[in-house]
Amino acid sequence: MKFGILVNEGPYNHQASDSAYQFAKAALEKGHEIYRVFFYYDGVYNANKFGEPPTDDRNVTRNWQKLAEQYKLDMVVCVAAGLRRGIVDSTLAEGFRISGLGQLIEAGIQADRLMAFGD
């Protein structure tokens, strides 16, 4: 099965990002495909390269980066939501890219299922 994933919440204020990551990881390990991961609303904070959690805490951004590198995931940050929250090219973590809502629509069309995490 081919999934699209929509992440609507930030990495440390809501469980949605962790749940999306764990879902994507499990799906990929079972042989499914992730067409695209789209970060929207506060979900764009997952792509902030300046986030430095304490060493005893998980690094959600790094987790997404490692998964994307291992499985060649397309991780897209919504340009409008990013601009509102200060996520621009210069603050974008490696492995993420900025684009528009058309990328979310395309993921919904191309994927068998679009999974949304967060409000």
CA dist., res. 84 & res. 50, Å (int): 17
Neighbour count for residue 100 (Cβ, 10 Å): 11
Neighbour count for residue 65 (Cβ, 10 Å): 20
From 7, 24, 75, 78, the catalytic residue: 78
60 flagged as catalytic: no
Active site residues: 78
